[in-house]
Amino acid sequence: MKSFSRTLLLAFAALGLVASASSSYVHYRLLTDASYTSFCDVSSTVSCTDAYLSRYGSFWGVPVAPVGLLYFAFVLVMAGVGGRPASASRENAPAYIFAVSTVALAFVLYLAWASWFVLGIFCILCALTYVSVIAMFIISGGATSFPMTTLPGRASRDLRTLVSNPFPLVLTILFMAAAVAVVAAFPRDSQAQASTAPVELPPVPDSERANVQKWWDLQPRVDVPVAADGAKVVVVKFNDYQCPACKLTHDQYKGVFQKYAATKDVRYVVKHFPLEGECNPHAPGGNHYASCEAAAGVVMARTKGTADKLEDWIFANLGPPVLTPAQMKEGVRTVGGIADFDAQYPTVLPEVTADATLGRKLGVTETPTFFINGRKLPTLVQPQYLAVIIDYELKRTSQ
C-alpha cells in the first residue's frame, strides 16, 4: 500500500470512528434518558434523534451506531498495522479494506436513502460516516493492485502467518473480544423498554426542586380546552404512535402517573397528533404510514376499555420492523378487541383530526408535546422532575 493511500485511509477511518463514537453515545443516551437532547438536533429536518430512534436506527435489535464503530476500528487497525511498510500483509491490506467497504457502502447507501427519502431528515453524524465509507471504498479500491478473485488465497496465507505470529494474533483476538463486548453491552430496544418500566422515582434534592419550580414559573401559560373533571392538575400529551420519543415517555412516565392514580388529583389525557397527512393536515413530514390507523384504533378501544392495553402493544411493537397499516389493524382487532375496524374508521377519524387541529392551534410542531395545567413543557424531562412539576402544580392549585 502506498504511503499516500495509507494516510488517506487512516484519516477517513479516524473521521468515521469519531462520528460513529459520537453516534453511539447519542443513541445510548436516547435509549436510556428521556430528557436527553442531542447536540446534533438542529431542526425538525436536521435531526440525529429521529434517525437513531427510527426503525432504521437498529437492525434485529442491534443499534447501527456501534456496528459502524467496529467497522471503522477494523479499517484503522488494518491500515495502521497491516498497511505498514514492514508488514507482510501490506499488499493485501487495501483489498481487505475494499472488501468490507463494499458491504459497508451498500449499507450506508440504503441508510442514506431511508434517511433522506423515507424519513425526510438529515443526520449530521450519519452523513460524516457516509462520506468516510465512500472515501475509503474509493481509496482502497484504487490501492488494490491485484484481482479480487485471488483474495481468498491471499487471506489463507495471511491467516497462517497470523497464527504463527503471537502479536497480531493477540491483537486480533482482543479486537474480536472488544467487538462482541461493545455490541453485547449496548442497550437494545427491549432492554431500554425494560429499564423504563415503572419504578420508584429517585429523590430530588431540595435545591434542584427549587430550581425546577423557578424554571417552571417562567413558562408561559395558554388555554388548553381539556376538561379537568375534578382534577387539580391536567397533563395533556400530543402523541404519535409511531414516534420513538413518544414510546420512551409512555414507558418512563408510567410510574409518575401511577403515583397519583389513587387520589384522582391528576388527570392524564392523550391527544392525537399523527405525523401522517391522512388524518393530520398539519403533520410535518407526514411519513408515519400507520399513525392514523393506530390513533383511530385507540379511539375505538376506549369504548371497550382496552385502550391502555392497545397502547402498550403498539409501542412494544414500534419496530424495527415498523408496523404496516395492515398489521396495525390486526393488532387493533386482536389486542383492542375491535372486529369492525374498517367500518368504524371513517366515523372516528374526525376525532383524531380534531385533536391534531387543536395541537396546531396550541403551537404543537413535534411529538411528544406535553402541557401541564396549560403550560407547555419545552423539553422532555426525567420522570422525577416531571413529578416535581406536578407536585408544584398540586400545591399551587391547593392554595
CATH of the domain at 11: 1.20.1440.130
- Residues 201 and 382: beta-carbon distance below 8 Å: no
Q: What is the mean pLDDT of residues 178-188?
A: 66
Q: Is the pLDDT of residue 163 over 70?
A: no
Of 142, 163, 187, the position where a domain reaches its end is 187
- Residues 279 and 357: beta-carbon distance below 8 Å: no
228 in the same domain as 170:
no
Mean pLDDT value across the chain? 85
231 in the same domain as 200:
yes
For residue 150, the 8-state DSSP code is G
280 in the same domain as 134:
no
333 in the same domain as 210:
yes
Overall number of domains in the chain: 2
Q: What pLDDT score does 61 carry?
A: 65
Q: Is the pLDDT of residue 120 over 90?
A: no
Q: What pLDDT score does 35 carry?
A: 55
Q: Is the pLDDT of residue 126 over 50?
A: yes
241 in the same domain as 166:
no
**3-state DSSP helix/strand/coil % of the chain, to nearest 5:** 60, 5, 30
281 in the same domain as 164:
no
283 in the same domain as 339:
yes
114 in the same domain as 86:
yes
Q: Is the pLDDT of residue 30 over 90?
A: no
Amino acid in position 279: C
> Percentage of the chain with pLDDT > 90?
44
Higher per-residue pLDDT: 55 or 310: 310
Find where cell 422525577 sits: 384
- Residue 41 belongs to what domain range? 3-187
E strands in 97-211: none
Long-range CB contact pairs, 96-102, < 8 A, 24+: 96/151, 96/155, 97/9, 97/136, 97/140, 98/137, 98/140, 98/141, 98/143, 98/144, 98/148, 99/148, 99/151, 100/71, 100/74, 100/75, 101/75, 101/133, 101/136, 101/137, 101/140, 101/141, 102/137
Q: What pLDDT score does 129 carry?
A: 94
What's the whole-model pTM score?
A: 0.56
Q: What is the mean pLDDT of residues 38-65?
A: 76
Of 187, 211, 244, the position where a domain reaches its end is 187
172 in the same domain as 279:
no
Q: Is the pLDDT of residue 123 over 70?
A: yes
45 in the same domain as 20:
yes
The three cell numbers locating residue 99: 472488501
The three cell numbers locating residue 358: 387543536
Give the model confidence (pLDDT) of 193-209 as tens digits: 444 444 577 889 999 99
Tell me which residue of 54, 29, 73, 88 sits closest to 320, measured CA to CA. 54
92 in the same domain as 43:
yes
200 in the same domain as 182:
no
**Predicted confidence band at 190 (pLDDT cuts at 50, 70, 90)?**
very low
Of 160, 187, 214, the position where a domain reaches its end is 187
Higher per-residue pLDDT: 295 or 31: 295
Q: What is the mean pLDDT of residues 229-235?
A: 95
Q: What is the CATH number of the domain that holds 203?
A: 3.40.30.10
